[in-house]
Amino acid sequence: MLRTGGITSSRCSLRTAEDFDRLAGDGVLGAVRYTTGAGPVGWEHGCPVLPLHMVRPGGPEVVEVWAASGPVRTGEHRGLHYAHDGEVLFAAGHIGPSAGCGEAAREAYLAAFELVDRLGYPHLFRMWNALEGITDRDGRGTEVYAEFCVGRARAFEESPRPMPAATGIGALGGGASFYFVAHRAGRVVHLENPLQVPAHEYPRRYGPRSPSFARATWLEGVLHVSGTASILDDATVCPGDVVRQCQVTLANLAALVGRDNLARHGLPGGWVLRDLRQVKVYVKRPEDVPTVTRLCREEFSRRAEFAVFAVDVCRPDLLVEIEGIAS
Ligand code: 3EB
């Protein structure tokens, strides 16, 4: 059964496809299928479900399920499918083809901002962006990810608000999609990492507009950790070396979730890597999956929910990206 406790217990869990189908929508706010093909956002058992093409043929589908804490209301708004329960709003949308997705990303983000404002869930606390061909270049040499960052930055400029924790990651198909969760009333604090330049302050050499996200977002005792990679200050370190990139990434995560960094942001408590209760790992080269899995297994708890996807990462020289939830 899904736990549908208050906001202090995290609402999101990783399930098998069979497990999710068995729920038949009971207690579900929304879900994301990390699956073998792309498709439109749809309704399943009355819940919004976003398919992301992240799994290769024959691989197991993973379903990220967001639990509802009470009666759910659903709707559609400018291409977004959403559900809310009075505490949390879950919404997902297909941005469109990823080549030249800047303007579509701007519109999708502005639609998202309008939705959270209108429904009264102003505290965006976590966003995910999946981009097919994320490191591909268009006819004029502009990278898909750079183009996406331009549109997203414009939306935050036109409708200013704090930037939440996020993931920006490759997908095997399906163009550009995104999903997010927003909270009605809880205390939300966005965190940076002392070992990294804030992403929104990255210098121009990484793209005309820097990425709009925080390194983590704390919501009432739950820490949502952004996709984290082998970046120190703003630079990729250990290019070509997946073991060392994984170690740097783990050290970045430890610094981000640790007591010192929480205190720096005026927050109580703190965590070590073994405390993370959910971990999602993205590995650029499929052949590196066993190595990265082994290194992660040594650091994270056996009890943590754990999923690994072989998909591209946003910089050509980044081999691994890891996100998670601590509570
Ligand atoms: C980085 O730290 C690695 O563009 O939303 C991580 C998390 C990354 C989110 C995003 C990108 C994003 O810059 C990439």
pLDDT number for residue 138 = 86
Residue 96: C-alpha distances to residues 209, 234, 289 (Å): 20, 29, 29
Q: Specify which residues 34 forms β-bridges with.
A: 52, 62
pLDDT number for residue 236 = 98
> Is the four-CA dihedral 318, 37, 39, 90 of positive or negative sign?
negative
CA proximity to 292, closest of 223, 220, 229: 229
Percent of the chain beyond pLDDT 90? Answer: 95
**Higher per-residue confidence, 313 vs 8:** 313
Probe target for ligand 1 pocket from 131, 150, 167, with the most ligand atoms within 8 Å of CB: 167
pLDDT at 1 over 90: no
Residues marked as catalytic: 321
**Distance between CA 241 and CA 238 in Å, rounded?**
6
Residue 248: C-alpha distances to residues 42, 78, 238 (Å): 38, 40, 9
CA proximity to 187, closest of 148, 215, 218, 214: 218
What pTM does this model have?
Answer: 0.96
pLDDT number for residue 39 = 87
- Ligand 1 — pocket residues by CB below 6 A? 129, 166-168, 199, 211, 213, 226-227, 229, 231, 314
Q: Which domains does the chain have, with CATH numbers?
A: 12-326 (3.30.1330.40)
Q: Helices (H), strands (E): how many in the chain?
A: 6, 19
Ligand 1 atom at minimum distance from 226 CA: 7
Q: What angle do CA 76, 79, 84 make, to 5 degrees?
A: 35
**Distance between CA 308 and CA 185 in Å, rounded?**
33
Q: Please enumerate, by residue number, every residue annotated as part of a binding site for substrate.
A: 145, 152, 202, 215
Q: What is the pLDDT of residues 61-112, one digit of tens each?
A: 999 999 999 999 999 999 999 999 999 999 999 999 999 999 999 999 999 9
Q: What is the pLDDT of residues 239-290, one digit of tens each?
A: 999 999 999 999 999 999 999 999 999 999 999 999 999 999 999 999 999 9
